[in-house]
Amino acid sequence: MDVESIESLCQRARQAIAQGKIEQARQLYLQALGLKSDAPDVHYGLATVCFLLNDLDSAAYHFKEVTRLDPLRPGAHINLGAVYNRLEEYDEAVKALRRGIQIDPQRAEGYYNLGLVYRNKGEPNLAIQAYIEATRINARMVDAHYNLANLYLERERYNLALARYKQVLQLRPNWDKALHGLAQAEAALAAGDDVDQAKKSSEKAVIKAIDPDSIRTVEPNVHGVILTHLHQATIDSENQGRQFLQILEQEIEPAIKELSTCLLTPDTSAVGLDHCVQRFEKAIQSMRSAQRHLQSSIERVRSFGDRLLKT
């Protein structure tokens, strides 16, 4: 009887939303929640109407309840992240969105919202990566293309901005905002030659202004050995950096995914928890070893650089 009553209340709440009666929908969901306080679908509906009413704290609470009651529902984590973004709780937003993406890596809206958060955090490179992934998964996500184009424009990557604005206009022809962005990118590219010429003239002026007596010259007998060591240390640092990134991609990330699967859905895991923990610990050891080698190489570069400057 209770279940039928809950279903009826939820149906009436959805009808109220369709009619624009959002507050009425909230009251209906609250009645349903009074009948069954641990119903994730009721919390989800209530979170949605709270978001529509701009009651963000309540929306966050109810989406969080959904993630507690139904932890493998990716949409709840993604929506929770979107709400945290609105609340300017950016670190919590990233955690929630990453969790939703981990559960369902093909959710383009997860990456889109992650792009919004990173942009708000002032991390444009991470925002660009997130938007690229969103558009890879869903090539017709207009807002992701548009936000990506804007970021490229802001970072003076005009060719990339131009290409993205054109994609936006293919999906949404004659959109004023995209047309304005396209015009800005085209103007910036057209002005590029003049800017380059101005830079060259400025560089020549600076060179002429330098006092020849203040220019340091490299003496092969004095600096040659140090330069050789510095060059080799730089190459070693580059190699160690690549190895460190390789370990992160090929060992750490798979180990984390395997361990998460084993903990969250043990019935579907192909291996036991002990194996997952051992693999994760081994990956961590590899990462720490690579990190030590990288730090050592960087210190050598710094040391030889200081010696070169002092001679």
d(CA 271, CA 277): 11
Give the model's pLDDT for residue 240.
Answer: 75
Give the model's pLDDT for residue 229.
Answer: 67
Give the model's pLDDT for residue 279.
Answer: 81
SS3 237: helix
Angle between helices 90-103 and 74-86 (to 10 degrees): 160
Residue closest to 299 by CA, chosen among 237, 219, 209: 237
- Map out the domains of the chain as residue ranges: 2-189, 213-306
Give the model's pLDDT for residue 274.
Answer: 75
Average pLDDT of each block of 10 consecutive residues along the chain (311 residues)?
Answer: 73 92 94 93 94 95 95 95 96 96 94 97 96 96 96 94 96 95 92 53 46 44 59 74 77 75 65 75 83 81 70 60
Architecture field, domain 2-189: Alpha Horseshoe (1.25)
Q: What letter does residue 210 receive in the DSSP assignment?
A: S
Give the model's pLDDT for residue 299.
Answer: 82
Q: What is the pLDDT of residues 143-175, one digit of tens each?
A: 999 999 999 999 999 999 999 999 999 999 999
Q: Which amino acid is at 119?
A: R
Sign of the torsion angle spanned by Cα atoms 266, 270, 272, 276: negative
pTM to 2 decimal places: 0.61
Q: Which two tokens stand for residue 132?
A: 């690229």
Give the model's pLDDT for residue 216.
Answer: 45
Q: Which amino acid is at 200?
A: K
* Residue ranges in 121-175 assigned as alpha helix (H): 124-137, 142-154, 158-171
Give the model's pLDDT for residue 230.
Answer: 65
d(CA 169, CA 173): 4
Q: What distances in angstroms separate CA 35 from CA 6, 39, 62, one per listed residue?
A: 7, 9, 16
Do 72 and 264 touch, CB atoms closer than 8 A?
A: yes
Give the HSE-up count for residue 40: Cα atoms under 13 Å, Cβ half-sphere. 13
Q: What is the pLDDT of residues 78-131, one digit of tens each?
A: 999 999 999 999 999 999 999 999 999 999 999 999 999 999 999 999 999 999
Do 168 and 175 touch, CB atoms closer than 8 A?
A: yes
Give the model's pLDDT for residue 259.
Answer: 66
d(CA 227, CA 221): 11
